Amino acid sequence: MTIDPNTGELVLGAESLGPTSQERDFLQSAIGVSAKQVMKMPTAIWYEIWLPADAGREVGAVLKFARDGALQTARIKFVRSEDRAAGASGWSRDVEDEMKSFHDAWLRERFGNPPYELPFPWGRVWSVIDQHGYSAIIIVVYEKR
C-alpha cells in the first residue's frame, strides 16, 4: 500500500483510489466486489477492505464515499497477521501503541519527519490513536485546499 503525495491516490494491491474515485467504480473494481459495507447514512456510505501487506502485516481500510459520489476519507491500519487472527482477544493498548509506532514510521518514510498532519493540495494525512476505542489509524481526508 502507498499514498501518492502529489495526487493523494491510495494504491491498494492492484487498485488505485483517490479523491476523484467514485463509489460505483469502486464497487465494480477487484477490491470493491469483496468490500464489506459497514455503515450507510443518507449522505455517505462506508466500506471495509482487507489486503495483504509487507512485513507480516495486513492492511485494513474503511473507505467513506459520498452517497453515489466520490471518496471522501480513508481510515487505514496495518495489523500484524497474528494480531488480526487473534481478534478481540489479542487486543491491548500495547498492540495499538506498536501499531501507532509502525504507522508513524511508515508515514515518515514516505513524507518525511513529523508533524504527521501534512497539508497537500488534495487534502491531508495523519496518524492518530482514536481515543474512542483506543485504536491506531492513519487518516486520509480528501478536501480541496
What pTM was computed for the model? 0.92
Q: What does the pLDDT look like over 26-84, one tens digit per residue?
A: 999 999 999 999 999 999 999 999 998 877 899 999 999 999 899 999 999 999 988 88
- What pLDDT is attached to residue 117? 66
Beta bridge partners of 40: 45
CA gap 78, 62 in Å, rounded? 12
- What pLDDT is attached to residue 116? 62
- What pLDDT is attached to residue 55? 76
- What pLDDT is attached to residue 69? 94
CA gap 13, 59 in Å, rounded? 10
Mean pLDDT of the region 22-26 = 96
Q: What does the pLDDT look like over 114-130, one tens digit per residue?
A: 776 667 889 999 999 98
Give the Cβ contact number of residue 10 at 10 Å. 23
Nearest one of 22, 64, 18 to 43, comparing CA atoms: 64
CA gap 142, 3 in Å, rounded? 12
Nearest one of 47, 34, 50, 107 to 84, comparing CA atoms: 50
- What pLDDT is attached to residue 68? 87
Tell me the pLDDT band of 20, cut-offs 50, 70 and 90: very high
